Amino acid sequence: MELHEIEAELHNSDFQYRLKAVSALQNYPMDVAVPLLTQHIKDPEFLVRSFVARELGRQKNSDSFAALLQIIKFDNTPNVRAEASNSLSLFGKVSASHLVQTFVRDDHWLVRRSILAALVEMDCPEEIWEVCLLGIAAEDTAVQEASVDALGWLANSRQSEIALSQLLTLKDSPFEYIRVRVAYALKNFPTPAAKEALAQLRQDSDHRVVGAAMEDLLL
């Protein structure tokens, strides 16, 4: 699509044309694409804003970084904020502290799960540990489960010891869905304490916990 066509379609009343125009900007250099994208971070259609957030992650410069931060802070749609969080993570570890701040501020499960996954992908163990503690204390079960899973990822990191300690505490959680995730996470830790905890979970009162703890033995 020619640039003049993109500029025209970005103002089309039909949002589907705006979506196509935003997608077409991936073929243009950032000095052309980013100014046009940033003009539409407040588009009335959330799908357009989501496409804009995604494209800003591909067009990485200081202006797109700033625009993504604005979307994360002020957009009223969780899907868009989650997309912007994913895009921000593509800037590398410079974005890690901003993602942690967003996790603290934004308690929507989709945003938080996106940030957890992004931090794991970015290999940021300190930040993962920080948000895991918040996530485990959250009210949303999906965030709790993702946080326990992330603790398992820390087995090969500098945070291994404290992550294992947290898992050993959580193995006695009153919630079976937490104990299930703990069983899976503990398998990443080749320590006597982790193996002992797994042995205990194989005697759990809930069959789902027992199944998770025994799964590797049945393969």
Token pair, residue 18, equals 């705006």
Whole-model pTM: value is 0.91
Token pair, residue 83, equals 């997309």
Query: What is the model's pLDDT at position 172?
Result: 95
Query: What is the model's pLDDT at position 217?
Result: 66
**How do the domains of the chain map onto residue ranges?**
1-90
Q: What is the pLDDT of residues 108-149, one digit of tens each?
A: 999 999 999 999 999 999 999 999 999 999 999 999 999 999
Q: What is the pLDDT of residues 70-122, one digit of tens each?
A: 999 999 999 999 999 999 999 999 999 999 999 999 999 999 999 999 999 99
Mean pLDDT for 198-218 is 91
Query: What is the model's pLDDT at position 216?
Result: 77
- Cα 170 from Cα 175, distance rounded (Å): 9
Mean pLDDT for 170-176 is 96
Answer yes or no: are the C-beta atoms of 58 and 29 closer than 8 Å: no
Q: What angle separates helix 176-186 from helix 192-201, to the nearest 10 degrees?
A: 140
The superfamily in CATH containing domain 1-90 is Leucine-rich Repeat Variant (1.25.10.10)
- Cα 202 from Cα 3, distance rounded (Å): 62
- Cα 109 from Cα 96, distance rounded (Å): 18
- Cα 8 from Cα 21, distance rounded (Å): 9
